[in-house]
Amino acid sequence: MSQTNKTRTTVDIYGKQYTIMGKANAHHVRMVATLVDDKMREIHAANKSLDTTKLAVLTAVNTMNDYMNLEKQYEELKRSIQMKEE
């Protein structure tokens, strides 16, 4: 991917600034960063003893769990629609 096709967006996640480069527009990147920041703060509120690394890993694990559950629900919904169409 060439550098000219990438958007560079600076975001704040859990008090640190990160520069994200990719094809997504800046608004989308900021929305994603806000969701990550919110999830980290939610997990931290439940367990204040976590250091930033553990907090980041738990956030990633929680996010992937949510993603996998949504993916499963999506597949079940697709099957249900296919069955009704047949």
Phi, psi of 23 (to 5 degrees): -80, -20
Residue 11: beta bridge partners? 18
DSSP 29-54: HHHHHHHHHHHHHHHHHH-TT--HHH
Please report, for the chain, how many H helices and E strands are present, in that order: 2, 2
Give the model's pLDDT for residue 2: 53
Per residue of the chain (86 residues), give pLDDT as tens. Answer: 456 689 999 999 999 999 999 999 999 999 999 999 999 999 999 999 999 999 999 999 999 999 999 999 999 999 999 999 98
Integer Cα distance of 86 and 84 in angstroms: 6
Give the model's pLDDT for residue 53: 96
Integer Cα distance of 75 and 78 in angstroms: 5
C-alpha distances out from residue 81 to 29, 68, 71, Å? 32, 20, 15
Q: Which residue has the tokens 């600076």?
A: 10
- The model's pTM: 0.82
Give the model's pLDDT for residue 3: 60
Give the model's pLDDT for residue 22: 95
